[in-house]
């Protein structure tokens, strides 16, 4: 056996689907490695075009079959991915541009496809937007389907006899959908993100998955023993016997724990001493909406509205927005739908905007600052939201507020929009509530002055932490300074909650802290009674709520006020959760990620 095959390696990636997989690696080879350049005589060009045209028809059939199968086996919302791929297949890029390039270059379809896709990739990679990165994933997925059909190796890489962990540079939704759930234990890839379609499908299928693992394929070989920890993002290759035994125990604990969560999904979110807590979901796309319903969300605490605009590549009309919001409101029959107005800028840009390049776009012309200048566009979204309020419970939420003057300007625009709708005899909810995001430190500091002018607060901890501590959480060099439990952050959260409570108004928390059950007791103790999070985290947070009493949580929060460092606070929070786990016989929710990392680092390569 080669030295590489027995090397013990530990990687850290992005966990995108919970669970633990233990098994042997199977590498999914890329079909692009098989592409060669073939020059064609003029007499062969018609035959090559016919071959390409026939391939497009075959791929169309495959996508329809895949859409229908995923709809039956997983769900109709997840199947919409493949409806989107059918639309991409009919794009002029594949239908017109590629055939023209075959004629012009006099080359085989496979090589032309690879060249043109490389050009697209370079264009898209210059755009700093999660949406465009995922859009590129979709284009590449369709291109891979076409390539496999051209090469006649549609089943390449997925003909598997025994259960394995799949390792790949990237996985498309088509790859994920073709997986045999009984033969795939989990997967790990070099590329991908939390909201990529492959990650969403992995969660729907219950496959443990870790993505964004650099140098993965340089270090692994087919047959290597591996552990994929979809909870912590750790991947162990050829792990030591003790690590395997430890993970086998954790795997059993996780399975028991997850079964317990599933059984409690329909139970109310009520503390041990009877305090009812509101659990809502954050959504970005319709697939998230189906998960919110599945996991018993009591409403939508944050509907991010940017994605439909980015997908369309233009500003949607008022009617288009109204139809979209009405659909969400009517689908979410239970609870209120809180619709956030567009939060553009930073890393989300619309291609039709003439945006000057800014040195620091997160601190520049973004979000509410854009739309208080682009008032006609702003009012079209406001009107669409008001119109949707006639079909269910709706609230409107404004992001990136930093001063009272912005709220007063918004209030004027709201009144203008309402007067226009009344004049046009268009019905809407006259009592629709208006709220603001608390995500800029100035807003948190001035919370007591802002709350009289709005109906509710929604605390966005992701940006609040970054702006308060001057740290980019995506920058590994300063990642250790991104501290959700920094005393300054807790003071700002506490100040915002207390200001809302003082005026008898509601306050929710919709950042990542809301979806982390480790922080649930602390936030309850601070007075928070409304949480909004990724739908997938609802069962775990509900379980934590049902395992604590308000007296315990208040005692925890009071103790934290006296502490001066994030390290002190973190230790006390973990101790609190360990005590709850012991009382409730929950061995799984431990600080296992760091412990496993330390164990892996202490094992030397053989």
The span from the first CA to the last CA of the chain, in angstroms, equals 12
Q: Is residue 197 annotated as a catalytic residue, yes or no?
A: yes
Q: Smallest Cα–Cα separation from 308: which of 287, 331, 291? A: 287
Those residues whose C-beta lies under 8 Å from the C-beta of residue 467, and which sit 6 or more positions away, are: 439, 440, 441
Annotated catalytic residue, options 66, 85, 510, 553: 510
Per-residue CA distances from 161 to 27, 155, 202, 328, 544 (Å): 14, 13, 20, 42, 40
State how beta strands 530-533 and 278-283 pair.
parallel
Q: Is residue 510 annotated as a catalytic residue, yes or no?
A: yes
DSSP code for 548: -
Per-residue CA distances from 339 to 227, 397, 488 (Å): 40, 6, 29
Q: Smallest Cα–Cα separation from 134: which of 126, 143, 124, 149? A: 124
What is the spatial distance between Cα 81 and Cα 287, in angstroms, rounded to a whole number?
9
Annotated catalytic residue, options 85, 134, 197, 236: 197
What is the spatial distance between Cα 282 and Cα 265, in angstroms, rounded to a whole number?
17
What is the spatial distance between Cα 430 and Cα 583, in angstroms, rounded to a whole number?
48
Residue 392 — left, alpha, or beta (φ > 0 → left; ψ -120 to 50 → alpha)? left
Those residues whose C-beta lies under 8 Å from the C-beta of residue 320, and which sit 6 or more positions away, are: 308, 312
Per-residue CA distances from 321 to 54, 80, 242, 583 (Å): 38, 19, 55, 49
| Lookup result for tokens 């200048």 | 373
Active site residues: 197, 510
């Amino acid at each position: 056996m080669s030295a590489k095959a027995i090397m013990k390696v530990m990687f850290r990636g992005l966990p995108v689907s919970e669970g633990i997989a233990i098994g042997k690696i199977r590498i999914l080879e890329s079909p692009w490695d098989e592409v060669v350049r073939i020059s064609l005589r003029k007499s062969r060009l018609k035959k090559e075009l016919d071959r390409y045209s026939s391939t497009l028809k075959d791929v169309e059939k495959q996508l329809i079959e895949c859409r229908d199968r995923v709809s039956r086996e997983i769900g109709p919302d997840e199947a919409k991915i493949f409806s989107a791929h059918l639309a991409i297949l009919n794009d002029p890029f594949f239908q017109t541009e590629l055939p023209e390039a075959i004629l012009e270059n006099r080359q085989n379809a496979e090589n032309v496809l690879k060249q043109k896709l490389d050009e697209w990739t370079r264009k898209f990679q210059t755009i700093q937007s999660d949406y465009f990165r995922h859009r590129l994933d979709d284009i590449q997925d369709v291109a891979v389907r076409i390539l496999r059909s051209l090469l006649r190796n549609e089943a390449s890489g997925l003909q598997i006899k025994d259960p394995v962990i799949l390792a790949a540079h990237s996985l498309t939704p088509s790859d994920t959908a073709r997986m045999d759930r009984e033969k795939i234990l989990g997967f790990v890839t070099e590329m991908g993100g939390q909201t990529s379609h492959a990650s969403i499908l992995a969660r729907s299928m219950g496959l443990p998955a870790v993505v964004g693992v650099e140098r993965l394929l340089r270090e692994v070989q087919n047959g290597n023993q591996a552990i994929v920890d979809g909870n912590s993002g750790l991947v162990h290759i050829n792990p030591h016997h003790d690590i395997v035994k430890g993970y086998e125990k954790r795997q059993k604990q996780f399975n028991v724990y997850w079964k317990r969560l599933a059984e409690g999904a329909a139970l109310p979110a009520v503390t041990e001493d009877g305090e009812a807590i509101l659990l809502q979901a954050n959504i970005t796309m319709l697939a998230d909406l189906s998960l919110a319903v599945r996991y018993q969300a009591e409403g939508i605490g944050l509907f991010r509205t940017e994605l439909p605009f980015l997908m369309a590549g233009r500003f949607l009309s008022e009617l288009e927005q109204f139809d979209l919001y009405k659909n969400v409101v009517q689908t979410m029959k239970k609870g209120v739908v809180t619709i956030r107005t567009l939060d553009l800028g930073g890393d989300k840009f619309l291609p039709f905007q003439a945006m000057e390049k800014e040195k620091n776009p997160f601190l520049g012309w973004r979000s509410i600052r854009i739309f208080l200048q682009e008032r006609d566009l702003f009012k079209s979204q406001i009107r669409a939201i008001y119109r949707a309020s006639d079909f269910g419970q709706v609230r409107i939420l404004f992001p990136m507020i930093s001063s009272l003057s912005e709220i007063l300007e918004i209030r004027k625009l709201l009144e203008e929009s309402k007067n226009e709708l009344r004049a046009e005899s268009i019905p809407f909810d006259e009592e629709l509530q208006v709220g603001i995001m608390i995500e800029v430190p100035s807003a948190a500091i001035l919370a007591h002055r802002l709350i009289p002018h709005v109906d509710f607060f929604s605390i966005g901890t992701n940006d609040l932490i970054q702006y308060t501590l001057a740290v980019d959480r995506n920058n590994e060099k300063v990642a250790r300074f991104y501290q959700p439990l920094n005393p300054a952050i807790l003071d700002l959260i506490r100040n915002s909650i207390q200001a809302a409570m003082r005026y008898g108004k509601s306050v929710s928390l919709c950042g990542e802290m809301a979806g982390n059950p480790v922080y649930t007791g602390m936030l309850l103790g601070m007075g928070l009674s409304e949480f909004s999070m990724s739908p997938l985290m609802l069962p775990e947070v509900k379980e934590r709520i049902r395992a604590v009493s308000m007296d315990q949580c208040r005692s925890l929060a009071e103790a934290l006020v006296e502490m001066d460092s994030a390290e002190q606070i973190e230790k006390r929070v973990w101790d609190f959760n360990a005590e709850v786990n012991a009382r409730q016989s929950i061995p799984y929710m431990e600080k296992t990620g760091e412990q496993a990392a330390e164990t892996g680092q202490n094992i030397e390569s053989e």
